[in-house]
Chain A
Amino acid sequence: MFIPMAVAIAEARIGKRGERFYSGRVPQLLERGFIAFKSSTWMIVLSGFVEPVLYLLSFGYGIGKLLPTIDIGGQNIQYAAFIAPALLATSAMNGAIYDSTMNVFFKLNHDRVYHGMLATSMGPLDVALGEIGWALLRGFSYACAFMGVVAPLGLIQSVWGLLAIPAAVLIAFGFASVGMAITSYLTSFQQLEVINVFLLPMFLFSGSFYPLSVFPQWLQFVANLLPLTHAINLVRGLCLGNLSFSLLGHALYFVVMIICGLFFTTKRLNALFMK
């Protein structure tokens, strides 16, 4: 009997773990990302890279000129070196959020791209991982590009700073997973705006521009709950070479975000498309 190739491919996966949700098609979804990327709006792509550089120039070298060096764990560093890791973490977050909220929302509710994808032999976890994977690639490239700017400027104090790039990917992964999970539950464009309302204060109060110690105790407590605070502390610790176990704690925060985000995204996509 003739068996179509698509069927043979699907049957080869019978008995694999989670086969009803996952078919190993993440590379194909990334391929889609690359094809779509070729014709994407380059201004938007570039802005993700330019934005932190502009912040660095205006705050780091503008306001930084007026400031004395900052004492972090016994190291005296210039202001630009203080904010550079924070800007790296923030750009990883922004890239991941853009891909996992705005882009996902339109594919889900407007273009119905996921409806098409899930009529094939793929599963919801393929779609979730593929979309998040694409957000990671973007986060990774922004992190590399930003490193390419700040390292020659002498703003990275330690060779451990190289680990800031994988850290940025971890951060992007966390934000993308949670971003996609939240977006998959949203039904209107207005709700999407709420995410942005949350992002700006988080950027301002996560210790990007000054140490959290300037805040009153209660605000420090709140800031320490925010994911961006953990992202910034992680990247800053690596860039300054201030290694401690607390860095593992920050990384763990993102591992939890990734697991929860993936769980709810898959659950929701399954409820939407496989009900």
Chain B
Amino acid sequence: MSELLISARGLTKKFGDFVAVNGIDFDVQKGESFGLLGPNGAGKSTTMRIIGATSQRDSGTITILGKDPEKNGPQIRAHLGVVPQQDSLDMHLTVVENLYIYGRYFGLPRKFVKGKIEELLSFAQLEEKRDAKVETLSGGMKRRLTIARALVSEPEILMLDEPTTGLDPQARHILWDRLFRLKEQGVTLVITTHFMDEAEQLCDRLIVMDKGNIMAEGSPASLIKDYSTKEVLEVRFGSDRNQEVANKLRSMCERTEELPDRILMYSDDGEALLEQIYSAELHPKTSLVRRSSLEDVFLRLTGRTLIE
């Protein structure tokens, strides 16, 4: 029997006239890795802050480990480890001091916190930087330290808001590896991202958000299965010819999406489709067959790309 850690119904948050979160429903089970995928401004961070009891909803209900953030803010925050989108490390302190004092902010005894530090340093692969000032760390190191810091209170839920935004590819992969380990240890993760590869790598289940609404929900694989075809053929005819060719292409497959620089053609067999195009005497400048991704799901649902 799985245990429900977070449950939201009709969750709504407005800033003046702007509806940031528009009556959404979702549940997060214990031990799962739950993602909120959507472009900037979709309402992901606002939702995260409501869960984190640092923002109050306008209507609807939400319980986190059975508690209402309106009444039990401090108690809910004690359950959570928060990794915000922008670093909030204490620049005047060293790596070890950051971990130590953050544990103390939860009221944890000195001995307990000191006992956790070695484990956290090794998890974050920062043993050699233990006495370094935070400002001297690279972006990837800072983010790993922020995650380690969020773990100091042994949270039941780790909240990650855009964990790899702004990191180079290598640093991203190191971070994904660390998060994967946490997932294996059974830590419940709630992750927001606008990177579809990140969502595919890390999330067991996700909601696709756009303009404060949930557009779809499911595992990455089931979302792709439900909202896209197995494969995608990307063809480029050059910006002047794309439009003209698009009409002919549309009849060849299930669905097309015309982007400014290329046309996406949805089909379960991309190679066969490409041959069909060649035999119709249409010669694309470039072509690429790939499998469908969450990006395609988002495009299907909203008509827009994730990163604009």
Chain A residues close to B by CB (< 8 Å): 4-7, 9-11, 13-14, 19-20, 23-25, 28-29, 31-32, 35-36, 39-40, 111-113, 115-123, 273-275
B91 at the interface (CB under 8 A from A): yes
Task: Determine whether the beta carbon of A4 is less than 8 Å from that of B54.
Answer: no
Q: List 28 A-B contacts (CB under 8 A).
A: A6-B106, A6-B154, A9-B106, A10-B107, A24-B107, A25-B105, A28-B104, A28-B105, A28-B107, A29-B105, A31-B104, A32-B104, A35-B97, A35-B100, A39-B133, A112-B86, A112-B87, A112-B88, A116-B88, A116-B89, A116-B102, A119-B52, A119-B54, A121-B77, A122-B105, A273-B54, A274-B73, A275-B56
Question: Interface readout for B75-88 with A: 1 if CB under 8 Å, 0 if not?
Answer: 10111101010111
Per the 8 Å Cβ criterion, residues 143-178 of B in contact with A are 149, 153-156
Chain A CB within 8 A of B55 CB: yes
Residue contact A120 to B54, C-beta cutoff 8 Å: no
Minimum CB distance partner of B159 in chain A:
A119
A4-B153, A274-B56 known; A10 and B75 CB under 8 Å?
yes
Q: Is B215 an interface residue (CB 8 A)?
A: no
The interface residues of chain B lying within 8 Å CB-to-CB of A113 are 88, 90-91
B108 at the binding interface (Cβ < 8 Å): yes
Contact B87–A36 (Cβ < 8 Å): no
B60 contacts the other chain (CB 8 A): no
CB of A111 to closest CB in B, whole Å: 5
Question: What 5 A-B pairs come out closest when comparing CB atoms?
Answer: A116-B88, A10-B78, A6-B153, A112-B88, A119-B82
With A6-B154, A28-B107 as given contacts, are A13 and B90 in contact (CB-CB < 8 Å)?
no
Q: Are B88 and A121 in contact, with the CB atoms below 8 A?
A: no
* Alpha-carbon distance between A28 and B102 when the two chains are bound, in angstroms: 9
Chain A CB within 8 A of B285 CB: no
User: Is the C-beta of B74 less than 8 angstroms from some C-beta in chain A?
Assistant: yes
Say yes or no: is B93 at the interface (Cβ < 8 Å to chain A).
yes
- B153 contacts A120, C-beta separation under 8 Å: yes
Chain B residues whose CB sits within 8 angstroms of the CB of A28 once the complex forms: 101, 104-105, 107
Question: How many angstroms from the CA of A121 to the CA of B76 in the assembled complex?
Answer: 8
Interface centre among A4, A19, A25, A119 (most CB of B within 10 A): A119
- A71 to B271: give the CA distance in the assembly, Å: 102
Name B258-277 residues within 8 Å CB distance of A: none
B92 and A14 within 8 A (CB): no
Compute how far the CA of A40 lies from the CA of B93 in the bound complex, rounded to whole angstroms.
10
B72 sits at the interface (CB 8 A): yes
Taking CB atoms, residues of chain B closer than 8 Å to A13 are 74
Q: Considering the complex, give the chain A residue whose CB is closest to the CB of B94.
A: A39
Residues of A within 8 A of B82 (CB): 119
**Closest partner residue, chain A, to B104 (CB atom):** A28
CB neighbours (8 Å) of A31 from chain B are 101, 104
> Which chain A residues border B52 with CB–CB below 8 Å?
119
In the complex, chain A residues whose CB is within 8 Å of the CB of B89 = 111, 116
Tell me the nearest residue of chain B to A28, going by C-beta. Answer: B104
A111 close to B91 (CB less than 8 A): yes
Tell me whether B107 and A36 are in contact (CB under 8 A).
no
- Given A4-B156, A5-B154, A35-B97, are A121 and B75 neighbors across the interface (CB < 8 Å)? yes
User: In the complex, how many angstroms separate the beta carbon of B304 from the nearest chain A beta carbon?
Assistant: 29
B101 touches A35 (CB 8 A): yes
- Check A275–B55 contact: CB distance below 8 A: yes
Provide the bound-state CA to CA distance between A20 and B100, in Å.
24
B87 touches A117 (CB 8 A): no
B28 to chain A, nearest CB (A): 17
